[in-house]
């Protein structure tokens, strides 16, 4: 969660005023008018939770799809950093590679 200040037109007092904007991920979850104090809350849970899950899973997912398609190509084209940094991913890579060789 992050907080930003923005100059917006308040929907409650209809003044141009500083607003405190609270973010959940990339979604605005709360806006507070510094002029009148009115708080607008937006329910982002339906958007935020799938987005969070996607953010967490998209990278390994893409990697594993490429891995299934052509592990040799992936091993030579990936930057070393990408494989060595997350050790769990390197373990997955070895597991998938072993399962491929066994076939």
The residues that touch Zn ion, with contacts defined as CB under 5 A, are 10, 12-13, 33, 35-36, 38
Q: Determine contact, residues 83/74, Cβ cutoff 8 Å.
A: no
Please, what is the minimum distance in Å from the beta carbon of residue 18 to Zn ion? 10
For helices 87-102 and 45-69, what crossing angle results, to 10°? 40
**Tokens representing residue 46 in the block:** 């339906």
CA 53, CA 60: separation in Å to the nearest integer?
12
Q: Least Å distance between CB 47 and Zn ion?
A: 25
Shortest distance, position 21 Cβ to Zn ion, whole Å: 13
Would you say 38 or 44 has its CB closer to Zn ion? Answer: 38
Return the number of the residue (14 or 73) whose C-beta is nearest Zn ion. 14
């Amino acid at each position: 969660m992050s907080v930003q200040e923005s100059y917006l037109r308040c929907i409650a007092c209809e003044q141009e005023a500083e607003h405190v904007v609270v973010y959940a991920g990339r979604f605005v979850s709360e806006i507070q008018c510094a002029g009148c104090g009115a708080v607008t809350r937006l329910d982002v849970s339906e958007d935020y939770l799938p987005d969070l899950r996607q953010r967490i899973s998209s990278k390994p997912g893409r990697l594993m799809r490429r891995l299934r398609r052509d592990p040799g190509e992936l091993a030579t084209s990936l930057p070393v950093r990408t494989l060595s940094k997350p050790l769990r991913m390197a373990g997955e890579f070895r597991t998938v590679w072993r399962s491929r060789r066994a076939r």
